[in-house]
Amino acid sequence: MDLLKKWSKDYIEAGCDEVGRGCLCGPVVAAAVILDENFEQNLINDSKKLSFKTRMDLDSYIKDNVKSFAIAELPPSFIDEHNILNASIHAMHNALDKLAIRPEFILVDGNKFHPYNFIPHQCVIKGDSKFLSIAAASILAKNYRDKLMIELHEEHPEYGWNTNFGYATKKHQEALIKHGITKHHRLSFRLKYD
């Protein structure tokens, strides 16, 4: 099924999504995307449903063919201080701040969002599998975060971040037991290393 292009035909819409909420380490990353009216790409879908290669191939196509996009990240220290939900929403606000075009309406993946600059918004559960702008945002955010976790893997190869990207896999948890935490781990999360 093709993803919908717009919630309303009357407004400049930005689609927002975040990745990394459930990870034990690394930042939470959000992206915002404003589509061009002529944007066409039927491969785009919820980033979780796409292979790593397909997502990476779509990255430059999205960036080159949308009206505006922006990506923002917040570190583990911010997540620990404000909790992961608030950090996720704040990262989306930061991505919206960085857009070259001011949106008139915001589409948000999920069911929670804080009002942003008096711009109306709509939360959409599983929005990344329903709306093209949210799906494009999810791809950009996931690609950005995956690349970052692959770089951090060079620092700490024992945790397997190049394949688990910071999620609580068995290898990651075993490495926590053996090596303890790094500065990239979220201290407010339940880290199974005791």
Can you read off the two tokens belonging to residue 110? 């999920």
Residue ranges of the binding site for a divalent metal cation: 17-18, 109
The Cα 179–Cα 118 span in angstroms is 47
- List, as residue ranges, the binding site: 17-18, 109
Distance CA 21, CA 166 (A): 10
Could you tell me which of 80, 77, 96 has the C-alpha nearest to residue 31? 96
